[in-house]
Amino acid sequence: MSSPRSRSSTYRGSISGVGGSVGTVSRQRSSSSSSSSSEGSARRRGSGACSYFSSGAQNVDFSVRLNQPIFTVTLRFLLAIDLWLSKRLGMCANEESAWGSIRPLVRLVELSGHAMPWFIGTLYSLLCGETVMEQEIMLNLALALLLDLLLVRVVKTLVRRRRPAQNRSDILSTYFIERYSFPSGHATRAAMCARFLLAQLVDTASMRVLVLGWAVLVSLSRLLLARHYVTDVAFGLAMGYCQYSLVERLWVTWDCLQDLLLMLLGDRLNRT
C-alpha cells in the first residue's frame, strides 16, 4: 500500500499537470484570438482600401460625365428646364391642382382646337359657300387640316416622346388624344389656322386680336392641363406657322380642281 505522502505528491502532480495543460490551452486560445484580431484588422484595412478605390472609381466616372461634349450637356440642361417648367405650368392637371376649379373651362378651350370641330365647320362652309372664292378657301383649309394631321402623325411616330406624368386621361382624351407628346397637334393646328385666317378671311384689327388670342389660349391650355411639355408646344407653333407656307405654295384653285376631276373622270370613262 502507498503511503499518505506518496498519494499527496501524486495528487499534486496530477493537479499541476492539469494546470499546465489548461495554461497551454489558454495560450493557444490567446494566440488564435490575436491572429484572428490581426486578420480582422487586415480585413478592415482591405475593406477600407476597397471603399477608397470604389469612391475613386465613382470620381472617375463623374469626371468622365463632365467631359461630355458641350452639345450633350446643353441639351440635358435644357431638357431639365423643360421638365421643371412644364411641371410648374400644369396647374389644371386635375381637380386637386392649384387651378383645378377652372379645369372645365380650360378643357373647353382645348376642345376648340381639336381637329374634329374644325373639319366639321370647314366641310359645312364648303358645302354652303355662296361664291366660288369662299368654296376655294374652305377647300384649301380642309386640305391644310389633312396635311397638318399627316405631318404631326409622322413626327410623333418618329420621336415617340411620352406625355407628362401629370397628364390625366379622361373620357374625351382617351379616344381623341394620342399617347405621344411631341409635337403638340393642337399647337400646330392653332398656329396654322390662325395664319390661314389672318391671310385669307380676317381683315379687321379686332378680329386679328381675337384670332391671335385664341391661338395663344389653345397652346396654353395644353400646358395647363399637363398634356404636353413646353418644347412640344413651342415646336408645334413653329411647325404650324411653317405649314401655312407650304399650303400657300400648293394652293388649289377651283378651276384646277375641276380640270383635275374632269381628267380623272375622262380616264375612268375611257377605261370602261
Give the residue numbers annotated as catalytic, written as ranges: 186, 228
DSSP string for the chain: ---HHHHHHHHHHHHHHHHHHHHHHHHHHHHHHHHHHHHHHHHHHHHHHHHHHHHHHHHHHHHHHHTS-HHHHHHHHHHHHHHHHHHHH-TTSSTTSTTGGGHHHHHHHHHHTSHHHHHHHHHHHHHT-SSHHHHHHHHHHHHHHHHHHHHHHHHHHHH-PBPPTT----HHHHHHS-SB-SS-HHHHHHHHHHHHHHHHT--SHHHHHHHHHHHHHHHHHHHHTTSS-HHHHHHHHHHHHHHHHHHHHTPPPHHHHHHHHHHHHHHHHHH-
